[in-house]
């Protein structure tokens, strides 16, 4: 019993003595050319050069949920790491048939209500545009990130990405109001282990209006 107690105490001391690796943090604010906040925009920090080889993939996690509520995908924009699984429950009282023709992931779920289908694997990075064969106005977006470091802007156009290892990153953005067919490269940044960087980005060029975005974006690719 003394040996077990001693071993446990030694492990606890070693854990306390181990140096903590400092992690950087990025806070970003996105606005349009009129300085109006742009929400539901995905920001991805992709390590470059030597930083890419140091990237530690996130551990496997339970499937992410994209629901269907009031004949809309909820959330309308979802960002996930490459290799994640997504479930598509239908919380509506009417049946839906979810599909995607996007190159990053092609799939179709048979007509259903409730929870009837197994989670869908998203192995390739890119933009996946979702639709419903029954309700053409239902459009949703899943951005499969090629990096474990990402976030999505809130209603104020702000996003915070934490636990960033020191290194150099390409900062990319994509949102359903973008006219671009690919994610925009905003800039390249280099972070030290304890940096707390703030980016205030004004997106140049016009964006699609908030209303009517879904139909115009249906064919776009990441």
Mean of pLDDT values over 165-190: 91
* pLDDT-wise least confident of 28-32, 108-112, 211-215: 211-215
pLDDT at 151: 97
pLDDT the model gives residue 182: 79
pTM of the model: 0.83
Q: What pLDDT shows up at residue 214?
A: 46
Label residue 53 exposed, middle or buried (CB < 10 Å: 0-12, 13-18, 19+). Answer: exposed
Contacts of 195 (CB under 8 A, 6+ apart): 24, 25, 166
Overall average pLDDT of the 2-18 stretch: 43
Short-list 114, 136, 139, 118, CA closest to 128: 139
pLDDT grade, residue 94 (50/70/90)?
very high
| C-alpha–C-alpha distance, residues 144 and 79, integer Å | 6
Does pLDDT of 67 surpass 80? yes
Domains, the chain, ordered by start: 22-55+147-214 (2.60.40.10), 60-141 (2.60.40.420)
Can you tell me the mean pLDDT for 77-98? 96
Residue 51 has a pLDDT of 58
DSSP 146: S
Query: Kind of pairing, strands 98-102 and 105-108?
Result: antiparallel
Over range 16-29, report the average pLDDT.
75
**pLDDT band at residue 56 under the 50/70/90 scheme:** low
88 touches 117 (CB < 8 A) = yes
Asked, as a colleague might, if the bond just before 75 is cis with ω within 30 of 0, I would say yes
Cα(first)–Cα(last) distance of the chain, in Å?
Answer: 59
User: Which of 145, 198, 194, 187 is CA-nearest to residue 166?
Assistant: 194
Please check the confidence at residue 3 and state whether its pLDDT lies above 50. Answer: no
Please say if the pLDDT value at position 53 is more than 70. Answer: no
The residue ranking higher by pLDDT, 16 or 197, is: 197
pLDDT computed for residue 62 by the predictor: 86
- Using one digit for the tens of pLDDT, what is the confidence trace for 127-169? 999 999 999 999 999 999 999 999 999 999 999 999 999 999 9
Residue 76 has a CB neighbour count (10 Å cut-off) of 16
Range 32-54 average pLDDT: 86
Query: Could you tell me the sign of the dihedral formed by the alpha carbons of 175, 177, 181, 185, in that order?
Result: negative
Of 58-62, 95-99, 197-201, minimum mean pLDDT range: 58-62
């Amino acid at each position: 019993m003394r040996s077990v107690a001693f071993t446990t105490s030694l492990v606890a001391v070693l854990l306390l003595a181990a140096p903590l690796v400092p992690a950087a943090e990025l806070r970003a604010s996105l606005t349009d050319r009129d300085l109006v906040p742009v929400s539901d925009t995905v920001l991805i920090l992709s390590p470059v050069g030597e930083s890419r080889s140091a990237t530690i993939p996130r551990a496997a996690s339970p499937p992410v949920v994209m629901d269907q509520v009031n004949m809309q995908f909820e959330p309308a924009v979802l960002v996930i790491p490459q290799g994640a699984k997504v479930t598509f429950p239908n919380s509506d009282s009417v049946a839906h048939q979810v599909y995607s023709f996007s190159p990053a992931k092609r799939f179709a779920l048979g007509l259903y209500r409730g929870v009837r289908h197994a989670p869908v694997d998203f192995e390739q990075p890119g933009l996946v545009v979702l639709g419903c064969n029954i309700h053409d106005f239902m459009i949703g977006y899943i951005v499969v990130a090629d990096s474990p470091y990402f976030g999505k802007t809130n209603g104020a156009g702000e996003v915070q990405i934490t636990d960033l290892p020191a290194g150099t990153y390409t900062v990319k953005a994509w949102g359903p109001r973008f006219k671009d067919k690919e994610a925009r490269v905003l800039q390249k940044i280099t972070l030290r282990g304890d940096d707390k960087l703030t980016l205030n980005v004004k997106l140049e060029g016009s964006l699609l209006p908030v209303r009517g975005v879904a139909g115009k974006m249906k064919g776009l690719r990441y």
